[in-house]
């Protein structure tokens, strides 16, 4: 299915998987609606996307944790940007790697508010329009962490298990409409994910990828574009992808 001129709304588009997804959709000639908290980095992604072939770009400074801001952003879109064809619910993060009984509550709140509630807020604002128009595709960003909990990561893993349940529930609730719903569940991807998790500790973040060839953001972006570009009668429910050095969220082949 051609994606040319389709309106693609990507949250968390300022870096990592979100930025790579923006560039991948730009190469398909889509119109990009990009949202993130870091306006300066978002502007850089928008500039790169324009050079990759995006038909048009509209950026929004948005924190998905604020449900009023999310709804307002969608309600006040210029008319030519309102009929969103594809939502990539990508905004998310991990904070800390602590035993549950020693975890920081502020880290828990940030993960839950972003990964679960933020995803819900954006879907609640966007999906009704898709149902009314009789077309649309929601892509939610999951993780292998949602399948198997790993030590010291219970809360993050719980947010991704919630994403899996919400994704499947939304697909069930949309049965009878043409709107499609997909969860993209990557394993280890080398982005700023670990740097964010460890609050900027670059040395500790680098150790996460030591001895392993991880996925790249572009690998994940390619899977997203593939799922969205299937024929309209085909719904890809879930894509799980890892590098060959990872079996699941617990098992890695670390080379010396």
197 is a domain residue: yes
Domain assignment of residue 132, given as a range = 7-241
Please write the tens of the pLDDT for every residue from 23-70: 999 999 999 999 999 999 999 999 999 999 999 999 999 999 999 999
1 is a domain residue: no
246 is a domain residue: no
* Residue 144: strand, helix, or coil: helix
Q: How many domains does the chain have?
A: 1
251 is a domain residue: no
247 is a domain residue: no
Catalytic residue among 101, 121, 156, 209: 156
Identify the pLDDT of residue 26: 98
CATH number assigned to the domain comprising residue 50: 3.40.50.720
156 catalytic residue (yes or no): yes
Residue 102 DSSP symbol? G
* Position with higher pLDDT, 202 vs 127: 127
Please write the tens of the pLDDT for every residue from 120-165: 999 999 999 999 999 999 999 999 999 999 999 999 999 999 999 9
Please write the tens of the pLDDT for every residue from 215-243: 999 999 999 999 999 999 999 999 999 99
Q: Where do the H-state alpha helices sit in the chain?
A: 16-26, 39-52, 67-75, 105-111, 119-133, 154-173, 193-197, 202-208, 217-228
Structure tokens at 249: 């969220």
pLDDT, mean of residues 180-209: 93
2 is a domain residue: no
105 is a domain residue: yes
250 is a domain residue: no
Structure tokens at 122: 């954006």
């Amino acid at each position: 299915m051609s994606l040319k001129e389709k309106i693609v709304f990507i949250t968390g588009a300022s870096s990592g998987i979100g930025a790579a997804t923006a560039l991948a959709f730009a190469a398909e000639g889509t119109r990009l609606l990009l949202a993130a908290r870091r306006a300066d980095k978002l502007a850089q992604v928008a500039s790169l996307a324009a050079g990759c072939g995006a038909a048009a770009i509209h950026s929004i400074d948005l924190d998905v944790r604020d449900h009023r801001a999310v709804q307002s952003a969608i309600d006040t879109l210029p008319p030519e940007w309102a009929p969103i064809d594809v939502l990539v619910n990508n905004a998310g993060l991990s904070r800390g790697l602590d035993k549950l009984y020693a975890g920081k509550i502020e880290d828990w709140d940030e993960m839950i508010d972003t990964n679960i509630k933020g995803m819900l807020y954006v879907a609640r604002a966007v999906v009704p329009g898709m149902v009314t128009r009789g077309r649309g595709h929601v892509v939610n960003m999951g993780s292998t962490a949602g399948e198997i909990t790993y030590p010291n990561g219970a809360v993050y893993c719980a947010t991704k298990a919630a994403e899996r349940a919400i994704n499947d529930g939304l697909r069930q609730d949309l049965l009878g409409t043409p709107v499609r719903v997909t969860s993209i569940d990557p394993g280890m991807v080398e982005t700023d994910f670990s740097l964010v998790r460890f609050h900027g500790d670059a040395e500790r973040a680098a150790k996460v990828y030591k001895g392993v060839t991880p996925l790249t953001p572009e690998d994940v972006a390619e899977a997203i574009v593939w799922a969205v570009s299937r024929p309209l009668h085909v719904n890809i429910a879930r894509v799980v992808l890892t590098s060959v050095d990872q079996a699941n969220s617990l098992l890695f082949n670390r080379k010396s």
